[in-house]
Structure 1
């Protein structure tokens, strides 16, 4: 059975948020379902999307674990976005968090080795 996962991030102003997310992900959206929603496929059958929803904006928490955390962080930094917070937990797992203009937290994590 195929399984698709969509994680939504509500934003106040879609047109203002879209360029920031293109910088964060390093590319344009994978598809645009409508005039106020953009979707990025971040892994096979795994999607993160933004949607204009001012009432809910600023409350999203999204975490993606990646194999290449340091490379990913360096690439995002080169594109002009710095992390808001970096945490290392017992056992060496690291979480690097970014925050959009609404206060939504988008994080990438990775383990040791």
Structure 2
């Protein structure tokens, strides 16, 4: 049985990505396990890695469930992360974001059947 998950986004410039993801997660990375890798631990057994791998940068997608999508949308605008606002998508409401390399980051309201 699976007990955890680390998703991964590949980026071309780690310093630029760190600035963007720190604004997304509203804090600095939790860990730097090795050169070129940042980690945010979002809940027990659940996190996001941002890895400097320029040849693969920009082809990742993250979908993260959030409790209050409207509050997150407002906070992100205040932090300088632009977007077009929440919209319907996949049986939920979603907020589509793009990091500086073009990786897709989607915030979603609680998804029916997936929330605990």
TM-score (structure 2 length as normaliser): 0.85
Q: Unmatched 5+ residue regions in structure 2?
A: 112-116
Correspondence for 2:114: none
Rounded Cα–Cα distance in structure 2 between residues aligned with 1:54 and 1:85: 29
Rounded Cα–Cα distance in structure 2 between residues aligned with 1:6 and 1:90: 23
TM-score (structure 1 length as normaliser): 0.87
Rounded Cα–Cα distance in structure 2 between residues aligned with 1:111 and 1:28: 25
Alignment of 1:1-113 (within 5 A): 3-83=3-83, 86-89=86-89, 93-111=92-110
Question: CA deviation digits over 1:19-75, x for unaligned, max 9?
Answer: 111111110011111221111112221101100001111000110111111111111
Rounded Cα–Cα distance in structure 2 between residues aligned with 1:34 and 1:84: 35
Rounded Cα–Cα distance in structure 2 between residues aligned with 1:80 and 1:87: 20
Greater Cα offset, 81-90 or 65-74: 81-90
Q: How many residues align?
A: 111
Give the aligned CA root-mean-square deviation in angstroms: 2.0
Change beyond 3 A, Cα 1:53–1:100: same
